[in-house]
Amino acid sequence: MPEAIRKVNIIGHLNPDTDSICSAIAYSYLKSKIDPETVYEARRAGAVNRETAFVLKHFGHQEPALITTVTPQIKDIEITKQSGIDGETSLFVAWRLMREVQIDTLCITDHYNNLDGLITVKDIANANMDIFNTNLLATARTRYLNIIETLNGTMVLGDIDGAVEAGDICIGTTPSAMDGVVKKGDTVLVTNSVESQLFAIERGAGCLIACCGAEVKETLVRLAKESNCTIITTPLDTYAAARLISMSIPVRAKMLDHDIINFTMNTPLEVAQQKMSKTRHRFFPVKDREGRYVGMVSAPNMTDPKKKHVILVDHAERAQTVDGIEEAEIMEIIDHHRVGNIETNSPLYYRCQPVGCTCTIIYEMYQEQGVEIPPSIAGLMMSAILSDTLCFRSPTCTPHDVEVARSLAEICGEDPEEFADAMFDAGADLTGRTADELFNADFKVFSRGNISFGVGQGSYMTEGSRKDAEALLEPYMEAAAKAKDVPMIFYMFTDIKNQSTDMLCYGAAADIVLARAFGIEPKDGLAVLPGVVSRKKQVIPALMGTLQTMEQEN
pLDDT in tens, 467-521: 999 999 999 999 999 999 999 999 999 999 899 999 999 998 999 999 999 999 9
Specify if 425 maps to a domain: no
- Together in a domain, 48 and 84: no
Length of the chain: 554
Domain limit, last residue, from 248, 263, 286: 248
- Together in a domain, 269 and 282: yes
Q: What is the pLDDT of residue 4?
A: 64
Amino acid present at 445: V
Q: What is the pLDDT of residue 473?
A: 95
Q: Is 198:210 a contact under the CB 8 Å cutoff?
A: no
- Together in a domain, 192 and 293: no
Q: What is the pLDDT of residue 462?
A: 85
pTM across the whole model: 0.73
| Cα distances (angstroms) measured from residue 470 to each of 13, 153, 253, 463, 479 | 24, 84, 65, 11, 15
What's the domain count of the chain? 4
**For 537, which DSSP code?**
I
Q: H or E element: which one contains 253?
A: none
CA dist., res. 57 & res. 539, Å (int): 31
Task: Give the residue ranges of DSSP H helices in 227-265.
Answer: 238-244
Specify if 132 maps to a domain: no
Q: What is the pLDDT of residue 65?
A: 96
The CA-based dihedral angle spanning residues 145, 150, 151, 153, taken in that order and rounded to the nearest 10 degrees:
30
Listed in sequence order, the residues at least 6 apart from 531 whose beta carbon sits closer than 8 Å to its beta carbon are 499, 500
Specify if 59 maps to a domain: yes
CA dist., res. 57 & res. 81, Å (int): 42
Neighbours of 395 (CB within 10 A): 16
Cβ burial of 499 (10 Å; 0-12, 13-18, 19+) is: middle
At residue 301's C-alpha, the angle toward residues 299 and 304, to 5°, is: 115
Task: Check which CATH number belongs to the domain holding 366 and give it.
Answer: 3.90.1640.10
- The partner residues of 80 in beta bridges, in order of sequence, read 296
Task: Check which CATH number belongs to the domain holding 486 and give it.
Answer: 3.10.310.20
- Together in a domain, 40 and 108: no
Q: What is the pLDDT of residue 99?
A: 93
Residue ranges in the chain modelled with pLDDT below 50: 1-2
- Together in a domain, 102 and 116: yes
Q: What is the pLDDT of residue 3?
A: 55
Identify the domain containing residue 377 by its residue range.
7-72+307-415
Q: H or E element: which one contains 65?
A: strand 65-66
- Together in a domain, 297 and 319: no
Listed in sequence order, the residues at least 6 apart from 554 whose beta carbon sits closer than 8 Å to its beta carbon are none
Cβ burial of 298 (10 Å; 0-12, 13-18, 19+) is: middle
The sign of the torsion formed by the CA atoms of 202, 203, 207, 212 equals negative
Domain limit, last residue, from 232, 248, 264: 248
CA dist., res. 487 & res. 130, Å (int): 64
